[in-house]
Amino acid sequence: MNEQQKNGPQRPAFTEDVIDLRAYFKVLHKWRKVIALGTFLAVLTSGILSFFILQPVYEAKTLLMVTQAADRQRVVEQDGLEGVVGTLSRIPVMTMNTYLGQIKSEALMDRVIAKLGLDRALYEPRHLLEMVDASVIKDANLIEVRVRHTDPVLARDIANAINTEYLLMLSDKNEEQMARSVDFLERQRDEALARLDEAQGKLKEFEAQPRSVAVLEAEFTQKSEDLARYKSRLNTAVIELQQISAGVARMQEELNATPQTISVERSTDEGVVTAREPNPVYATLSERLSERKAAQAEKEAEVQALTQLIAGLEGETSVLLAELTTKRAGLDRLRDEVNRLDATANLLAQKVTETQIARSIDLGQTSVVVVSPANTPTTPVKPNKKLNMAVALVLGLMVFVGLAFVLEHLDYTIKNPEDVERHLELPVLGVVPAVDARAAQRSTY
């Protein structure tokens, strides 16, 4: 026998699918009572819980509008001391998320519990937070606060207490922060004033020194003027000396060219006699040359004296300038320190005033407005009875249909010919029908 004869004729694949689908329906039909009863019990249980067990939950809503909100946290725009001090004296501008985070804080819930006089054994801040939900309405500076509670009046009171206490908390926090800023700025101002007094004392002491900057400047100015004047005189003397020297040289040349004696013819009794006599021109030139040389010597002495005097003045001026530069630098440093401390003290005093003004601002009433206070809810939001029963119906069907297939899979008992073929993989040759014994006896007779 071939393999096909051993196993019998091959059945088409679609036949297997038809048989399996029918088997599924048979399983569902077989366990229909279990599925129906289980689903009914699930729906019934959900209905009992929704209608008789679960307490209705009411939701109270309130709406807040934030008038001073920033898109993001601002950074310090100014550099230096003014930017830092300006940050301390400025009312903080918060984002919507910051307002939202403050509403969802345990500190606010603690204030609400205290205001309403709730039993702290039953209502802790974290428990109260579980009843409260707050969210920012998109594209608006509005915050919606929702409070859920089984008591509709208490839900309303909690929502309204959140509004009231939140505004007070904002004002308290602003006042507390501004108070700390004022204290800090006042301490810094007092320290700046103390350092300013000390710096001014050092400046006065420095200016009162015997050789102060003013004295040195006057002395330096006098010596500079003397030096300039002597240099001018030296230049004039040098020019005059050059002129005299040139004149001496010309007269010396002229004198050299002039004969010391000249021939003179004289008429005597013996006739005309020629004699040699001193040349008066030479004598005159010689005399003038001597005078010029004397003047030249005098001018050379003047030039030499002026040169030595100028050299001495230049040395004194250099020493005086070095001393003046050192003391002027010290004076400038002390004056800069005084000016800096004075500006710092004035800035701190100004910021103290501004911070005190900001401290007096009621931030809660100016930055947040209660748009809609909470009213007493009349309709519960939980439980949703219809939804709960619908969900119980769907879940009951899913669970008990799955349970039916599990039970069918675990059932190995043989109840019909199909079970023989499926479990024993043997062909059914025949079926003995079930015969009622009484019916069989009646037919025999």
Predicted confidence (pLDDT) at residue 390 exceeds the cutoff of 90 = yes
CB 65 within 8 A of CB 142: yes
Q: What is the percent of the chain with per-residue pLDDT over 70, rounded to a whole number?
A: 88
Distance (Å, whole) CA 47 – CA 127:
28
Q: How confident is the model at residue 5 (pLDDT cuts 50, 70, 90)?
A: very low
Choosing among 3.60.20.10, 3.20.20.80, 1.10.287.370, 1.20.1260.10, the CATH entry for 209-329 is: 1.10.287.370
231-268 tens-digit pLDDT: 999 999 999 999 999 999 999 999 999 988 888 887 77
Average pLDDT over residues 179-202: 92
Mean per-residue pLDDT of the chain: 85
Q: What is the DSSP track for 155-187?
A: HHHHHHHHHHHHHHHHHHHHHHHHHHHHHHHHH
Q: How confident is the model at residue 3 (pLDDT cuts 50, 70, 90)?
A: very low
344-363 tens-digit pLDDT: 999 999 988 888 887 777 77
Distance (Å, whole) CA 14 – CA 264:
176
CB 91 within 8 A of CB 174: yes
Average pLDDT over residues 175-182: 87
What is the pTM (predicted TM-score) of this model? 0.59
20-47 tens-digit pLDDT: 677 788 888 888 898 999 999 999 999 9
Distance (Å, whole) CA 282 – CA 290:
12
Predicted confidence (pLDDT) at residue 427 exceeds the cutoff of 70 = yes
For the chain, give every domain's residue range.
31-54+383-424, 209-329
